[in-house]
Amino acid sequence: MKRRYYLLDTNILGPLAELRSGGKSPECKVLENHWNALPEGTKIFLCPINVGEVEYGLRIAPCDNPEDHKLARELLSAFLFLDIDINLARDYYADLRARLFNYCAPKSKRDRKNYNKRVEEWKDPSTSKELKIQENDLWIASVAMAHNLTLVTCDKMDAIKNVAGSDITFENWLA
């Protein structure tokens, strides 16, 4: 069996925290099955974007419970971390974002010049629907691409999947 290495999207961490604290929801059961099926020696990574998103969520939570902060930090510390450096930003993030831009942006040079929308506002040219991509999704996907990791997410990320092609493998451990 080929061993895979994984990068978790932040949206997997909430259900994982629930599972670690004895959660029995159907989502937890599916996650537990995936987790238990991982071969010994599997490496699972996080990146600085995950930490930023978790810390942000803790700081804006309606109930500022120090125990929640402690548990979240314990969960984060259970993983290996990958840094985001200038090479990753230049060679992977810029490339992935450019691919996405080329997919979404108008084709004429004049219209492209004025297409300075945030990635969250970009639309699929064939359906005119928003891509539903966040800037942080691009960064996390770029980390997965740079390190040849399988990205574990429950986001659809259809546009990223479309432009990344075989450069990124995706899995949903909640489905």
Q: What is the pLDDT confidence band of residue 2, given thresholds at 50, 70 and 90?
A: low
Residues 114 and 48 in one domain: no
pLDDT one-digit tens code per residue, 65-109? 888 889 999 999 999 999 999 999 999 999 999 999 999 888 888
The verdict on 110 and 158 lying in the same domain is: yes
Q: What is the number of domains present in the chain?
A: 2
Average pLDDT score over residue span 48-77: 92
> Is the entire prediction scored with pTM above 0.75?
yes
Which residue, of 60, 81, 102, is where some domain finishes? 81
Average pLDDT rounded to a whole number, residues 12-19? 95
- What pLDDT sits at residue 10? 98
Report in angstroms the alpha-carbon separations of 101 from 49, 96, 118, 119: 21, 9, 10, 8
Angle at which helix 10-20 crosses helix 26-36, to 10 degrees, equals 100
| CA–CA dist 45, 160 (Å, integer) | 20
Asked which of 26, 47, 81 is the last residue of a domain, the reply is 81
d(CA 133, CA 119): 7
3-class secondary-structure state, position 170: strand
